[in-house]
Amino acid sequence: MPQTIAPEFATLIADLGRAIGPKYVLWRVEELMMYEFDGSALDLARPDIVVVPASTAEIAAVVKIAAAAGFPIVPRGGGTGLSGGSVPAAGGVVVATSRMQKVLHVDPVARTAIVQPGLINTELSEYTLPWNLHFAPDPSSQKASTIGGNSAENAGGPHCLKYGITTNHVLAATMVLADGSILHIDTTAPDRPGYDLLGVIVGSEGTLGMVTEITVRLTPNPEGVKTFLAIFDDLDSASDTVSAIIAQGVIPAALEMLEGQGIALVEQSVHAGYPLDAQAVLLIEIDGTDEEIEDQTARIEYICSHFEARELRAAKDEEQRKKLWAGRKGALAACARLAPHYHIQDGVVPRSRLTEVLQLTREVAKRQRVHIVNIFHAGDGNLHPLILFDIREPGIIDRAIAASEEIMRECIRVGGSISGEHGIGIEKRDYMSLLFNEDDLWAMRQMRACFDAVGVMNPCKLIPTGASCGDIKHARGAAKALAAGAWI
């Protein structure tokens, strides 16, 4: 069926088409539907238009045109985010980076790479393998998520326990600001005078501008890697083991936990060799030189036996190691066997409080009558309680949200945070005031306004915006209803 364009969009679509080529401007409903959601699938909002530019200059042109027409601008990478960061909450123009996937430069001596934002995370490490270098941040989504998205969300991953999160690996960024101007912040020359704008750009969830080129730090591949599976008959011993490993000053490359029902679900799906009857398993990876691996192996063996691990199994070869990791990285999908819908939490607690908070998640599950499976980055206290449910059950969504809130409040109560790596986005925006007071949020809003006074860059994300966000939503919503009517 031929679609007509609402008059108010016609000029905009034509202008955008002139700037980047008409075939890279998407506006038909069936084209837009793909861009309604991200990995969290809880927040849905359809963009008015999607553009797929190929360069910094094209992004600048797109931003200038869209902002002048009063449309919000929402950057989007792989769309794997878990907090609604790339969902166009107030409608507007989604700017996809899928035509900007190049590695522009690798400097093996300085150990840096310059990349475009649409480059898939793992593709960079594959590209730099000949130099024995890799990009350290490794979110579980890394086969699909982009470095632009990782930078916007300040992504983590299992190995950030030892190597740090994305902000520790970004050295420079080119960014298109709300007025279409181009800002290039480069910290490769150390301690350059000026406020650390890059420090707030990384993790800003696209709300300060759109990053179009990124210089990242590359990390040498370790001489050796050793991966263990520690199997426990009770949850407390497993979490005490995690606390003890950190307290003993061992910083593994990764320290992950699966507990309860999650273990059997993963095993049935991935066949990683996890025992079906275990109460908790730890995936412990150490890396470094041979001497470091030897030293840490001895300490890990001692701690695991002290806390009565049933078994400590080391992967014999790369294939076994990959299998153990496949279990961890594929855990989310495996849990679909238990219930078709999920809500994933991202709270962080001090590592010494793990045991009590994990106990609480079990109580919450009982109280709210939902399944909760904990599959998480235990080494840095980053919980991912996975709340599983079937949306067809009456009242279940309210109970799932209540469970989620209870856990978040507990994380804050013990001195933690509501997000370790997934970002605030839409999903946790209204919980920010549990963590920060009005003055704190004022300072953040003021800072944001210095980059984008009008608020066109990814509005309604990260900070509770109150009335102003409602206004945008209302205005755009009205326009959308009109447009939708005209299209169908």
| Residues 136 to 165 in contact with another protein, rule: CB under 8 A | 153-154, 156, 160, 164-165
Nearest 5°: the CA angle 475, 480, 482 is: 105
Element (H, E) at 342: strand 341-344
Least CB distance from residue 424 to another protein, whole Å? 6
Count the alpha carbons within 13 Å of 131 in the hemisphere toward its beta carbon: 19
Site string for another protein, 330-349 (x = CB under 8 A): ------------------xx
Residue with smaller CB distance to another protein, 5 or 197:
197
Distance CA 236, CA 220 (A): 36
Residue with smaller CB distance to another protein, 29 or 454:
454
Distance CA 176, CA 211 (A): 6
Residues in the chain: 488
First-to-last C-alpha distance (Å) of the chain: 8
Residue with smaller CB distance to another protein, 162 or 476:
162
Of positions 415, 466, 470, 477, contacts another protein by CB under 8 A: 415
Task: List Cα–Cα distances, 460 to 79, 160, 186, 206, in angstroms.
Answer: 18, 29, 28, 11
Nearest 5°: the CA angle 56, 78, 173 is: 35
The footprint of another protein on this chain (CB under 8 A) covers a number of residues equal to 87
Distance CA 221, CA 398 (A): 46
Residue with smaller CB distance to another protein, 178 or 231:
178
Residue with smaller CB distance to another protein, 160 or 460:
160
Site for another protein in 381-400 (CB under 8 A): 381-382
Residue 116 and residue 179 in contact, taking contact as beta carbons nearer than 8 Å = no
Which DSSP letter does residue 145 get? -
Site for another protein in 169-198 (CB under 8 A): 183-186, 188-197
Least CB distance from residue 193 to another protein, whole Å? 4
Query: Which residue stretch of 33-41, 88-96, 263-271, 374-382 sits at the interface with another protein (rule: CB under 8 A)?
Result: 374-382
Least CB distance from residue 305 to another protein, whole Å? 19
Least CB distance from residue 435 to another protein, whole Å? 6
Site for another protein in 268-297 (CB under 8 A): 288-289, 291-292, 294-295
Residue owning tokens 């045109």: 65
Residue 130 and residue 229 in contact, taking contact as beta carbons nearer than 8 Å = no
> Going by DSSP bridges, is the β-strand pair 280-288/224-232 parallel, antiparallel, or unpaired?
antiparallel
Residue with smaller CB distance to another protein, 217 or 329:
217
Distance CA 236, CA 233 (A): 9
> Is 355 a binder of another protein (CB under 8 A)?
no
Query: Which residue stretch of 248-256, 270-278, 326-334, 472-480 sits at the interface with another protein (rule: CB under 8 A)?
Result: 248-256
> Is 352 a binder of another protein (CB under 8 A)?
yes
DSSP 438-458: HHHHHHHHHHHHHH-SS--BS
Site for another protein in 416-475 (CB under 8 A): 416-424, 428, 432, 435-437, 439-444, 446-451, 462-463
Least CB distance from residue 480 to another protein, whole Å? 29
> Is 302 a binder of another protein (CB under 8 A)?
no
Site for another protein in 10-69 (CB under 8 A): none
